[in-house]
Structure formats: C-alpha cells, structure tokens
Amino acid sequence: MEDLNGTVDESVSWTNKPKVIIIGAGIAGIAAGEYLARKGLTDFKILEASNRTGGRIWSVDVDDDGHKAEMGANWIHGIERNPIYQIADQNHLLELRHANRNLRRRDLHATESGDIVSDKMVKEVDFSYGMLIAECEDYFHSSMPTPEEGDSVGAHLEREFQEKLDKYSNGDRRFRQMVFDQRILLECCITGCDNMSDVSLEEFGCYEELPGVHYTIPPGFEAILEILKKNIPEENILLNKPVKTINWSPSENNKSEEVCVECENGEKFYANHVICTVSIGVLKAACDRMFYPPLPKDKQQAIQSLGFGIVDKVILEFDQTVVDSDVFRIELLWDRDNVKEKDLRYTWMRKIYSFEVVHENILVGWLSGKEALYMESLTEDQIAEDCRDLLRKFLNRNDIPLPKRVIRTRWGNNPYTRGSYSFLAIGARQKDIYTLQEPLTASGCDKPQVLFGGEATHPTFYSTTHGALLTGYREAQRIVKLHTE
Ligand SMILES: Cc1cc2nc3c(=O)[nH]c(=O)nc-3n(C[C@H](O)[C@H](O)[C@H](O)COP(=O)(O)OP(=O)(O)OC[C@H]3O[C@@H](n4cnc5c(N)ncnc54)[C@H](O)[C@@H]3O)c2cc1C
Ligand SMILES: *[C@@H]1O[C@H](CO)[C@@H](O)[C@H](O)[C@H]1NC(C)=O
Ligand SMILES: *[C@@H]1O[C@H](CO)[C@@H](O)[C@H](O)[C@H]1NC(C)=O
Ligand SMILES: *[C@@H]1O[C@H](CO)[C@@H](O)[C@H](O)[C@H]1NC(C)=O
C-alpha cells in the first residue's frame, strides 16, 4: 500500500500530461483520481451522476448518538493484503471497535415458532457446510469437471447436504435442514444473487478470500472515502453530472485522440482518456446507448454474462432495546415446508436470514433477489409491521413494538447502480472479467481512449470495496505508464 500522505510523488517524470475524465465517484473512481493526483496529474474531472460521492459506500446517521448505519458496504473483508484495512488501520478508524469488542457475541438460532436450536447442532451443520463450500471452490482451483454441465453452487450444495442429512432421524433432520437453508440465504447475500442455483459451480472458487477477520468501521465506511478524497482537489469532483454518451471515435470529435463525454444536460467534456467505473448493472442497462462507436462484441457479451444481483438491507430503529444485551444476531431459521402462500406480499420477509444488533436499539436485516426487489416497492410502514410480526414469532414475544423508524435500501431501483454487486453466473467465466477490463483503443490511435474500472472488473476481488479500489489504482496507473518515462 502506498502512502496516502498528500504529497506528490516526485519520482514520476511525465513526458506529457494528458486530460482525464473519470466517470463515477464510487471508491474505484475516487481511488483513480487520488492516484493521479498523487502522481502530480491534476488535469482530471470526476463526473458523478448522483448528488453524493461514495456510490455503493454510503453511511447514514441513525439515532441521535452519532451512530452510523451502512446502506452499502459494511465489512472490511479480511486483513492481510487488504488496502481498505490498511487505510482504516493507519487512520485509526478501527479503535472504537477494539474498545467495544466482545460486548455482544451470542447468536440466537430461532425458528418460526420461537424454538431455539442448540449451538451444538448449529456447529455440526456449519462444519459440514464449510466443507461443502470448500468443495465447491475446489472445482475452480483444480479445473476438475463439475458433476453436471452448467452446474450451480446451489444444486451442488443441496445434493451433497441431503446426502449428509440421511443419517439423521426426522426431527433432527428438520432442524439441520433449517440451519442449512439459513446459511444458504446468507450465502446468497454474500454472493449477491437471488438463488445459489444462479451461481456457476465451475467458477465459484475464482473469488479470492483475504485472510483475517471482517471488521466494520465505527465512524462509517465513508470515512475511508474521505481519506482518499483529501488528496483530490475539491473542484475536480463534479456532482449531478450523469453521463449520457461516451464518444470515443476521435475523427468525429475532430480533435486528435480525444474522447467526448456528454452529460444528460448536454454539457460536454473532452479528454485523452476516460476511466469508466459505473456498475455492471448500469452497463447492462445502458451500454448500447452509452458508447459510440458501440462496444466490441466480446465486451458486450461479457457484460451480459456476468451476474449482477440485488442485495438490500432493512434497518429497524426501536424506542427501546428488543433483545438481551449479549445477543449479537437473531438467526432466522425459516422452515421450507412451512410456506403456505406463494405471493411475495406474504413471503418476501422469508428471505431475511437474520437481524444483527448493530446498536442496542437498532437491528439490521439483509435480503437478496426477487424478495429484495419486492421489499423496495413496499412502504416503510408496511415493512415495519411485517418485521415486527416476524420478530414476535421468532422471539416468541408479543410485546415487541413497532420500530419507530425504518430505513431500507433500494439498490435494485437505484438508476445509477441497478443492483448490488457482481458474481459469476452460470455461463460466465473469469475470462469475461478480463474482457470487461480491457481498454478500448480507436483504430489509428496508439493509446487507449476508454479504460474500465469498478468492482466487477477485478478478476478475484470482484464484489468488494478493496477490489473496486484496486481497479481504480490499476487504471490510473495504466494512464501514468502511458505518459511517463
Ligand atoms: C448492500 C451492499 C453491501 C455491501 N457490502 C460490502 C461489504 O461488506 N464489504 C465490501 O467490501 N463491499 C461490500 N459491498 C460492495 C461494495 O460496496 C462495492 O463493491 C463497491 O463500493 C463498488 O465501488 P465502485 O466504485 O466499483 O462502484 P460504485 O460505488 O457503484 O461507483 C460507481 C459510481 O458511478 C456513478 N454512476 C453510475 N452511472 C453513472 C453515469 N451515467 N454517469 C456518471 N456517474 C455514474 C454512481 O452513482 C456511483 O457513484 C456492498 C454493496 C452493497 C450494495
Ligand atoms: C440527493 O438526491 C436524493 C435522491 O434524488 C434526494 O432525495 C436528496 O434530497 C438529495 N440530497 C441533496 C442534499 O440534495
Ligand atoms: C432456488 O432454486 C431452486 C432450483 O430452482 C429451488 O428449488 C429453490 O426453492 C430456490 N431456493 C430459494 C430459496 O428460493
Ligand atoms: C475540424 O477541425 C478543423 C481544424 O481545426 C476545422 O477547420 C474544422 O472546421 C473542424 N470541423 C468541424 C466539423 O468541426
């Protein structure tokens, strides 16, 4: 990790300084700008569609005590080699966390009828589950053929787990099944899919997990972004500038090797290089009208193949504490045989697999896929009622009040994200990620006009903040290399 101390790197000697446009002020775009500024290149603009920086990093205030809740990124996934961890650690963002450590550590595993499943049984299921996940990852690493063509992680886990369940008696089986199903719903949120049957078994192991625990950032994940932003001149970041088209055909721009970026409001920006960091959800929806000339066929194909799901959160703020002070999570063990309705109106909440106590009176639940998208269409009052009712069932307590406030995310409906994060869907390959990150060079030009960053362009850390940050550095560095000795 390079030093983010705000000084310009004097060792870089530019042959000429290009003009650069960065599209998107998420962590990939901000990291790219920070890198350029650190290398002494300040002739760049970051064009951001929305009225804030951060994109899928978004910390909001909850309660009056200065506590934050995360609408998007929540955890630093691992420590070793994790640049986000390094920034957080060097800037003392984790200290509060060390102080509060271990206050809450009990996870309740509760069923719909309020039964509690023993920790021993949960541990046994987790052990099998962990082995099965490792097995799934092995297909990628060993290039071993999958049992079936176009096999999915979901189908594999289900087959193998049913086999393991066979040795248990009926009652035991049911509880184990519920714990397993709960782990699958969690896996859907980690992966970012609707159903693990959408996820390629062959490619599952391509995601690289970094060693170490997963920390949250008490002052909010946005603090990471603020640190990077310190190195970027304020006037370089332009908000409320949704980009409509990227014309990367220099002859038509009538300026040598320049790209023309046009915003929705007609404003035009010219640059030698554009770094595009919009989500793959945005690319899926708009890439055929965004680029002129159109993207090469293989890049279009990669954009269509890669998966991009919806993960949302429901944040409930209560007037009072709702669970014992040592409870960290209420794990919701839904019974798959207990689904009487098919209508999402009655089933959407069955996708929430747990509520985590983030502050004593604030619970956060996660859900993915179709149910998440349905939740986005509900009123906050409806969500409050549905969640109160489910907590009453699982905790077997009729005195759970309505939350006084509900904050929920709407990543599926966000026009500048159109989902949550990428995964390798059935049919997609790691090769598609490499195709996606390939820069575009117009015919007759010797340097690339359009470069691609963002979470989905990282071959092994896709779907994460550290992956996104590293792609920003990667593309900025590509530009620096083109113009330095
Ligand atoms: C609910 C949720 C939970 C998550 N949890 C974690 C976690 O715990 N840990 C973790 O590491 N990661 C997590 N992630 C993933 C992480 O947030 C993302 O991988 C990362 O923030 C993506 O950064 P990015 O810069 O690639 O994209 P973005 O943050 O999406 O940035 C792209 C920017 O481009 C802008 N834009 C889009 N279209 C246009 C346009 N036409 N013109 C101009 N600008 C445009 C957008 O507004 C946005 O600001 C989570 C994500 C979500 C949604
Ligand atoms: C930013 O945009 C959102 C959504 O369009 C809007 O609700 C919010 O009020 C805006 N915030 C500011 C500070 O303009
Ligand atoms: C996931 O898909 C499989 C196969 O289509 C289906 O049997 C299963 O019920 C789905 N799981 C969930 C949680 O929707
Ligand atoms: C293209 O550039 C040339 C030289 O700068 C200029 O004379 C000409 O008018 C331009 N054409 C258009 C269509 O802008």
Which mutation among 186, 421, 436 tests ligand 1's pocket best, with the greatest number of atoms within 8 A of CB? 421
Position 98 scores a pLDDT of: 56
Please report, rounded to a whole number, the percentage of residues in the chain having pLDDT higher than 70: 96
CA distance 451 to 261: 13
* Bond prior to 459 in cis (omega within 30° of 0): no
pLDDT exceeds 90 at position 374: yes
Q: Residues of 45-60 as b/e, b for ≥16 C-beta within 10 angstroms? A: bbbbbbeebbbbbbbe
Which mutation among 56, 229, 276 tests ligand 1's pocket best, with the greatest number of atoms within 8 A of CB? 56
Which mutation among 159, 178, 195 tests ligand 3's pocket best, with the greatest number of atoms within 8 A of CB? 195
CA distance 191 to 76: 15
Position 83 scores a pLDDT of: 98
CA angle 144, 146, 151 (to 5 degrees): 150
Nearest CA to ligand 1 atom 41: 243
Using DSSP's 3-state secondary structure scheme, residue 430 falls into helix
Which atom of ligand 3 has the smallest separation from the CA of 351?
Answer: 13
Q: Roughly how many angstroms between the first and final C-alpha of the chain, as a whole number?
A: 23
- Of 62-76, 107-121, 217-231, 447-461, the poorest mean pLDDT is in 62-76
Confidence of residue 444 (pLDDT cuts 50, 70, 90): confident
* Helix or strand run (H / E) with residue 389: helix 380-395
Q: Average of pLDDT values for 327-347?
A: 94
Which atom of ligand 1 has the smallest separation from the CA of 411?
Answer: 53
Confidence of residue 3 (pLDDT cuts 50, 70, 90): low
| 20-75 per-position pLDDT tens digit | 999 999 999 999 999 999 999 999 999 999 999 999 999 999 877 788 999 999 99
Confidence of residue 387 (pLDDT cuts 50, 70, 90): very high
List pocket residues of ligand 3, CB cut-off 6 Å: 154, 195, 197
Pair 314, 383: CB distance under 8 Å: yes
How many angstroms separate the alpha carbon of residue 58 from the centre of ligand 1? 9
CA distance 437 to 20: 17
Single-letter residue type at 59:
S
How many angstroms separate the alpha carbon of residue 253 from the centre of ligand 4? 9
Position 100 scores a pLDDT of: 56
Pair 385, 327: CB distance under 8 Å: no
* Cα dihedral 95/101/104/110 (nearest 10): 90
Please report, rounded to a whole number, the percentage of residues in the chain having pLDDT higher than 90: 87
How many angstroms separate the alpha carbon of residue 13 from the centre of ligand 3? 56
Closest by Cα among 247, 267, 229, 243 to 49: 243
How many angstroms separate the alpha carbon of residue 432 from the centre of ligand 3? 26
How many angstroms separate the alpha carbon of residue 480 from the centre of ligand 2? 35
**Other CB atoms within 10 A of residue 308 CB:** 25
Closest by Cα among 357, 366, 305 to 72: 366
Q: Which residues pair with 242 in a beta bridge?
A: none
Position 97 scores a pLDDT of: 66
With a 6 Å cutoff on the Cβ, whether 82 touches ligand 1 is no
Task: Report how far apart, in Å, the C-alpha atoms of 241 and of each of 52, 400, 449 are.
Answer: 11, 45, 20
CA distance 199 to 155: 9
How many angstroms separate the alpha carbon of residue 293 from the centre of ligand 4? 20
pLDDT exceeds 80 at position 434: yes
| 237-280 per-position pLDDT tens digit | 999 999 999 999 877 766 677 899 999 999 999 999 999 999 99
With a 6 Å cutoff on the Cβ, whether 48 touches ligand 1 is yes
| 139-183 per-position pLDDT tens digit | 999 989 999 999 999 999 999 999 999 888 887 899 999 999 999
With a 6 Å cutoff on the Cβ, whether 422 touches ligand 1 is no
CA distance 429 to 425: 8
How many angstroms separate the alpha carbon of residue 185 from the centre of ligand 3? 10
Confidence of residue 101 (pLDDT cuts 50, 70, 90): low
Pair 318, 363: CB distance under 8 Å: yes
pLDDT exceeds 60 at position 380: yes
Q: Show the domains of the chain with their CATH numbers.
A: 20-56+217-308+416-482 (3.50.50.60), 95-211+311-408 (3.90.660.10)
Position 111 scores a pLDDT of: 97
Q: Average of pLDDT values for 359-387?
A: 97
Position 102 scores a pLDDT of: 56
Nearest CA to ligand 3 atom 1: 195
With a 6 Å cutoff on the Cβ, whether 464 touches ligand 1 is yes
| 186-198 per-position pLDDT tens digit | 999 999 999 999 9
How many angstroms separate the alpha carbon of residue 279 from the centre of ligand 1? 7
- The Cα diameter of the chain in Å comes to 76
CA distance 397 to 280: 43
pLDDT exceeds 60 at position 99: no
Pair 330, 354: CB distance under 8 Å: yes
Displacement of CA 335 from its chain's centroid (Å):
28
Pair 477, 35: CB distance under 8 Å: yes
Question: What's the chain's average pLDDT?
Answer: 94
| 408-433 per-position pLDDT tens digit | 999 999 999 999 999 999 999 999 99
CA distance 102 to 121: 23
Position 250 scores a pLDDT of: 77
**Beta strand 273-276 with 237-238: parallel, antiparallel or unpaired?**
unpaired
Query: Exposed (0-12), middle (13-18) or buried (19+): which is 169, by Cβ within 10 Å?
Result: exposed
